[in-house]
Chains A and B, each alone.
Chain A
Amino acid sequence: MSKKVSEEKYKKTLTYRLKQWLDGEDLFTGTVEMKPQEPYKVDQAVSEQRHEEKKRLLEQIYDIEHNPEMRIFNKIYRLFAFLFCIFLVLMLLTAVSNLPTVGSADRPVNNEVAKRYIENGLQETGAVNIVTGMILDYRAFDTLGESHVLFVATCTVLILLREDKKKKAEQNQNNDRLYEPKNDVILQTVAKILVPPIVIFGIYVILCGHLGPGGGFSGGAIIGAGLILYQNAFGFHKTERFFTAKTYKVLSFSALACYALSKCYSFYTGANHLESGIPLGTPGAILSSGLIFVLNICVGIVVAGTMYTFYVMFRKGGY
């Protein structure tokens, strides 16, 4: 049973005061102060003057040409930075002078880890190139991270340089290809001769990554270079027929997803001591070494797309 409280009484209760305080009313005006506070002037002119003064002060401080203190500070700062660099180099040289000799076989680096990679690498991974076997099978987690570094770098470049839904004129301003001579005969002829071998060589490097020097990364970079040359000779409208932003998105997503999923499978089976069940094939054959072959192709696709995308973004800011 709650009884009704009169308006007067209610105004004296704590609840009302709390509510009033929450509503932003100052309940102590006139009760606490000895005399009413002088109204705080928020003159537009005064605040503008404040801003102006601040700005002038800042300009005075950072007018480096005419501010000797700032100049001296900058000089001292640079001097210290330089001394720090010298100090760093000296420390590093000291460290190096105490390290084991380069090229000798009995450094601590040449231990059981490298031994197993070399002696059993062929049987355990199926890759003739031990380096490929190492980065894509023994230490695959690093490489998984590495390809995502490339991906995330592409995304930051997209954030910075992609231009969406802008006016045609403005877009053309950033597209510097418009200022170049078009259809250069020499360039086009050279490109016609060179691009197919470059791309084929890139594909070869990717596919034979487990058999010889090379692999997804270098092959992808070579293909990317070929694409860049093609684009330079024939212009964007030719390349856009087969390579657009959408193609890149789909390609890189499917390659990275394939990479992540296959590694997920092999990590999961490895950690739970299950058989992976992927045949390694005969070492030396092109279809061998299990997942490494697939992963090389994935990495190659991602890298080729990424390199080309970097270039296009730098040139034009959009496909």
Chain B
Amino acid sequence: MEFVQNFPFFSIILSLFAGPLCSILNGKWAKRVNLAVITIILAMSSAVLAFTLRTGDSYVYMMGHFPAPWGNEIRVGMLEALMAVFFCLIMLLCMIGGVLEREREIESTKQNLYYIMVNLLLSSLLALIYTNDLFTAYVFVEINTISACGLIMIRQNGRTFEAAIRYMIMSLLGSGMLLLGICFLYDLTGHLLMSNIKEQVAILNASGQYHMPLLITVGLISVGIAIKSALFPFHAWLPDAYGYSTLSSAAILSSLVSKGYIFLLVKIFYRVIGFDIVRDSKIINVLFVFGVIGMIMGSISAIKESNIRRMIAYSSVAQIGYIYMGFGFGTELGMIASLYHIISHAATKSLLFVAASGITDASGDSTDFFDLTGAGYRNKLAGIAFTVGALSMVGFPLFTGFISKLLFAQAAVDSYHKLLPALIALAVSTILNTVYFMKTVIRIYTPEKREVLAKKQYQVITMKDQKWKSAALVCFIAINLFFGLYSEPVVGLLERGLKIFA
């Protein structure tokens, strides 16, 4: 066994350890520890990715002295390593981008608590990515939920509390259903380890025994995770939570937390139940329908919104709809499109949040749409970054959003029955996306009249004023361009990873 193979386990335990460590430090040191931990984990995950690329296979890491069905284990392949690297990268950039806001909006004595939340969130995300055991997944889903709630309400005003309690209620309904689904699976198969469950489920499916409970179990788990990841009818908490929490929280929540759950769902589909059984169970058709409705309703709500951050939040609803639509195709291509969209949406949405905060900084901290007039001139980098993000969301070539839309269209062409609704939904949603994003871009590049400028005295922000945020924005733009221009290797990697994922 090579030493590199220990790294996934080390990264989980390191971030888990860093949580309590931050509780005895003050805010400044906690921030340093947090950034160092994320950077170290990023490096370790990259090493793991390189290792899995070299061997081209996944491996199982035993947690403890006892082998597979008795002890816990984690499993590492290309897909998992790629996701870990990507999540760490995005989280690092989000944390760097939101430094100023955090210092301004969080009470100074509670700064270190924020970093505890971030560390534990990271560890739970990593555990969700790597774990090969359903009950461990449940425990870390709970850590994820609670720490995400902490991230929402660390900026203390009425809106965030209301959003947090709505978020908690929705997530708890979801985790109740998820846990019940896990219990059913455990009862039917007698295992908690994903690979063993799959063997048993295949036997059950072949014999036709327990067909009905199995169907209901798949339904419970899918609906539970769909509720947790804010699929369309369950998104009521989302705009407030993203719109009023502090910047780095909003960026992390929108780009990573819901994606962690979705990745768990992919894992359950592929590794626990088997994708063929899921496809035959018609559950994915339900996901498809809600995904398509979500794509359109989310965009319509975004058009009606006049607060820029809430607008971006509603756009998240639409994008999550895209991901579930990809699941709904029930094909390999659709799954790859969804996985690619997880990456591209995470990269773009966090970019948009950071850029939007740069823009509002230059508009006297107002998030109202009319106050943003001409903000693109006052904070040039943020304006450019917002434009890049908007173009990527709309699906302009060069940027990552285009590739994922292309993949979705390919997947739609591939599946016969869902071709028409999927293509229509894609077209309508793209048009609606264009309406609200381009409206904002045009607004921020419309010069404001001089009299108004003189009256309102907006601050002009250069790159030197906000060094950290500018650095984060530049990196985000680079990531967007990278995934837009060099998508071939990434898609190839996703394909290979998905093959050995099951």
Asked if chains A and B are in direct contact (CB within 8 A), the reply is: yes
Q: Report A's interface with B, CB cutoff 8 A.
A: 22-26, 39-40, 42, 47, 91-92, 94-95, 98-100, 107-113, 116-117, 124, 137-142, 144-146, 148-149, 151-153, 155-156, 158-160, 162, 164-165, 249-250, 252-253, 256-257, 260-261, 263-264, 266-273, 276
Quick check: A155 and B113 within 8 Å, CB to CB? yes
B69 at the interface (CB under 8 A from A): yes
Q: How far is the CB of A42 from chain B (nearest CB, A)?
A: 5
Assess whether B136 is interfacial by the CB under 8 Å rule: yes
| 27 A/B residue pairs, CB under 8 Å, sorted by A | A39-B449, A42-B451, A42-B452, A42-B455, A91-B216, A94-B212, A95-B213, A117-B70, A124-B65, A142-B133, A142-B136, A149-B143, A153-B146, A155-B23, A158-B113, A159-B110, A159-B150, A159-B153, A164-B107, A256-B17, A257-B17, A260-B13, A260-B17, A261-B17, A271-B1, A271-B62, A272-B1
**B140 close to A (CB within 8 Å):** yes
Q: Smallest CB–CB gap between B224 and chain A, Å? A: 11
Q: Are A146 and B139 in contact (CB under 8 A)?
A: yes
Cβ–Cβ < 8 Å partners of A42 in chain B: 449, 451-452, 455
**Complex-state Cα separation, A168 to B39, whole angstroms:** 42
Q: Smallest Cβ distance from B185 to chain A, in angstroms?
A: 11
Q: Is the CB of B374 within 8 A of A24?
A: yes
With contact pairs A22-B377, A145-B127 given, residues A256 and B149 touching in the complex (Cβ less than 8 Å):
no
Q: Are A148 and B63 in contact (CB under 8 A)?
A: no
**Is B146 within 8 A of A24, CB to CB?**
no
Q: Residue B51 at the A interface, CB < 8 A?
A: no
Q: Decide if A113 touches B70 in the complex (CB within 8 Å).
A: yes
Given contacts A138-B64, A142-B135, A252-B23, contact A110 B190 (CB under 8 A): yes
Beyond A117-B70, A141-B63, A260-B13, is A253–B21 a contact (Cβ under 8 Å)? yes
Taking the complex as formed, is B189 at the interface, i.e. its CB lies under 8 A from any CB of chain A?
Answer: yes
Q: For the complex, is B360 an interface residue (Cβ under 8 Å from A)?
A: no
A99 x B187 contact (CB < 8 A): yes
Interface SS of chain B: helix
Complex: chain A residue closest to B120, CB-CB: A152
Q: Is the CB of A145 within 8 A of B61?
A: no
B9 touches A267 (CB 8 A): yes
Interface residues of B in 124-171 (CB under 8 A from A): 124, 127, 133, 135-136, 139-140, 142-143, 146-147, 149-150, 153-154, 156
Q: Which residues of B contact A158 (CB under 8 A)?
A: 110, 113
**B110–A22 touching, CB < 8 Å:** no
- Interface residues in B37-68 by Cβ distance below 8 A to A read 61-66
Whether B297 is near chain A, meaning CB under 8 Å from some CB there, is no
Question: CA–CA, A110 to B63, complex, Å?
Answer: 23
| Residues of chain A contacted by B260 (CB below 8 angstroms) | none
Check A257 against B21 for contact (C-beta < 8 Å): yes
What chain B residues lie within 8 Å of A164 (beta carbons)?
A: 107, 109-110
Name the residue of chain B whose CB is nearest to the CB of A273: B1
On chain A, the residues within 8 Å of B146 by CB distance are 149, 152-153, 156
B237 interfacial by beta-carbon distance below 8 Å: no
Given A152-B116, A271-B62, A272-B6: A252 touches B136 (CB 8 Å cut-off): no
Instruction: Please state if B16 and A260 are interface contacts (CB–CB under 8 Å).
Output: yes
* Chain B residue at minimum C-beta to C-beta distance from A94: B212
Partner of B139, one of A92, A112, A142, A159: A142
Interface centre among A39, A144, A146 (most CB of B within 10 A): A144
User: Which residue of B63, B107, B149, B186 contacts A109 across the interface (Cβ within 8 Å)?
Assistant: B186
**B413 touches A (CB below 8 Å):** no
CB distance from B122 to the nearest CB of A (A): 12
Q: Is B217 an interface residue (CB 8 A)?
A: yes
Minimum CB–CB distance from B33 to chain A (whole Å) comes to 13
How far apart are the CA atoms of A16 and B117 in the complex, in Å?
A: 49
Decide yes or no whether B279 CB sits under 8 A from chain A. Answer: no
CB distance from A270 to the nearest CB of B (A): 4
Contact of B364 with A by CB under 8 A: no
Distance in Å: Cβ of B303 to nearest Cβ of chain A? 17
Judging by beta carbons under 8 Å apart, are B23 and A148 in contact? Answer: no
Which residues on B sit within 8 Å (CB–CB) of A94? 212, 216
Residue of B nearest to A255 (CB): B20
Judge whether B210 is part of the interface by a CB distance below 8 angstroms: yes
Other than the given A110-B190, A158-B110, A271-B64, 15 more pairs (CB < 8 A) read A23-B377, A92-B216, A108-B187, A108-B189, A113-B191, A139-B71, A140-B72, A141-B63, A151-B19, A152-B147, A159-B156, A162-B110, A257-B17, A267-B13, A270-B71
> Is there contact, CB below 8 Å, between A109 and B21?
no
Whether, in the assembled complex, B447 has its beta carbon less than 8 Å from a beta carbon of chain A, the answer is yes
Residues of A with C-beta under 8 A to B17: 256-257, 260-261, 264
Least Cβ–Cβ distance between B405 and chain A, in angstroms: 30
Chain A, residue nearest B203 (CB) = A108
Pick from B16, B72, B190: contact of A108, CB under 8 Å? B190
B420 within 8 A of A: no
Is residue B378 within 8 Å, beta carbon to beta carbon, of the partner chain? yes
Q: How far is the CB of B148 from chain A (nearest CB, A)?
A: 10
Inter-chain CA distance A111–B192, complex, in Å, is 12
Cβ–Cβ < 8 Å partners of A252 in chain B = 20, 23
B72, A141: Cβ atoms under 8 Å?
Answer: yes
Contact assessment for A108 and B65 in the assembled complex, using a CB-CB cutoff below 8 Å: no
Interface flags for B105-119 (1: CB within 8 Å of A; 0: not) read: 001011001001100
Min Cβ gap B219→A in Å is 7
A109-B65 CB under 8 A given contacts A142-B135, A142-B136: no
Q: Please measure, in the bound complex, the distance between the C-alpha atom of A257 and the C-alpha atom of B20, giving whole angstroms.
A: 7
B424 lies within 8 A of chain A by Cβ: no
Task: Give CA–CA (A141, B131) in the complex, Å.
Answer: 10
Tell me, yes or no, whether B200 is within 8 Å of chain A by CB. Answer: yes
By a CB distance below 8 angstroms, the chain B residues around A109 are: 186-187, 190
**Nearest Cβ distance between residue A310 and chain B, in whole angstroms?**
14
Q: Which residues of A contact B66 (CB under 8 A)?
A: 124, 137-138, 270
Does any Cβ of A come within 8 Å of B396's Cβ? no
Q: Please name the 10 residue pairs, one residue from A and one from B, whose CB atoms are nearest each other, closest first.
A: A24-B377, A145-B139, A270-B65, A108-B190, A141-B72, A164-B109, A95-B216, A111-B190, A256-B20, A95-B213
Which residues of A are found within 8 Å of B283, using beta-carbon distances? none
- Closest chain B residue to A268, Cβ basis: B6
Which residue of A26, A270, A273 contacts B447 across the interface (Cβ within 8 Å)? A26
